[in-house]
Amino acid sequence: MQAKLRKTTKTNRVKTGSVGSDDPGQARAPEALREREAKFSAAFHSTPTALVLARLSDSKFEYANESFLKLVGYEHAEIIGKIDCAIERRK
């Protein structure tokens, strides 16, 4: 992003304003991020490997794929927000 500075004569203050990005790659960054997220999501949900994502701070489940849910015998709503050691396999 390019910033332009200009000094006002009345107050002697500097004002800034942005005029856009000089880097064409920066404009594509949000699109590239969405593409990577879509690829990760497709791989996460379609793999036959049981996968779960948990927060490091408190070990609570954030996401679980269908393979994991089948393995432990829970529904998605029963798992999300629970601590990993509190989940027992039902099958």
Q: Where are the domains of the chain?
A: 1-45, 47-91
Give per-residue pLDDT as tens, 70-89: 998 989 999 888 886 667 76
Calpha distance 37→39 (Å, rounded): 5
Are residues 21 and 29 in contact, defined by beta-carbon separation less than 8 angstroms? Answer: no
Give per-residue pLDDT as tens, 10-42: 555 555 555 555 666 667 889 999 999 999 999
Q: What percent of the chain is helix, strand and coil (3-state, nearest 5)?
A: 40, 20, 40
Calpha distance 40→38 (Å, rounded): 5
- Give the pLDDT confidence score for residue 49 in this predicted structure: 94
Identify the CA nearest to 16 among candidates 26, 29, 3, 30.
3
In which band, very low, low, confident or very high, does the pLDDT at 91 lie, cut at 50, 70 and 90?
A: low
